[in-house]
Structure 1
């Protein structure tokens, strides 16, 4: 996954955790605008989320942030 996208995921997770606490969940759609303006990157994240890691639709933001950090 691209470094810029990894940083965006970390930033979004950090923001959601700060707003709602450690129990907040996220979907991979949380990292994109409502309109699909970058389908290639959406598929890249979806592949990482669904195919590579076999994650549920919603996961804890803390878990996702930690996974991204450990892979960087």
Structure 2
């Protein structure tokens, strides 16, 4: 996964955790605007989320942040 996407995921997760607490969930769509302006990046995130890690549609933001920070 490219570094810019890793940083975006960490930033979004941290923001959501700060606003709603450690129990807040996210989907990979949370890292993108409503408009699909970068389909390659969206597919990169979806591949990491669905194919690589077989995650559910919604996961705890803390879990996702920690996975990304660990380099998974």
TM-score by length of 1: 0.98
Q: Please say if 1:32 is aligned against 2:32.
A: yes
Displacement, 1:5? 0.6
Aligned equivalents of 2:71 and 2:3: distance in 1?
10
Deviation string 1:6-65 (CA, Å, 9 cap, x unpaired) is: 000000000000000000000000000000000000000000000000000000000000
- Residue 23 of structure 2 aligns with which residue? 23
- Residue 2 of structure 1 aligns with which residue? 2
Aligned equivalents of 2:2 and 2:37: distance in 1?
16
Q: 4+ runs of 1 displaced by more than 3 Å?
A: none
Pairwise CA RMSD: 0.8
Aligned equivalents of 1:28 and 1:17: distance in 2?
15
- Residue 46 of structure 1 aligns with which residue? 46
Aligned equivalents of 1:2 and 1:35: distance in 2?
21
Aligned equivalents of 1:35 and 1:20: distance in 2?
24
Structure 1 alignment gaps of length 5 or more: none
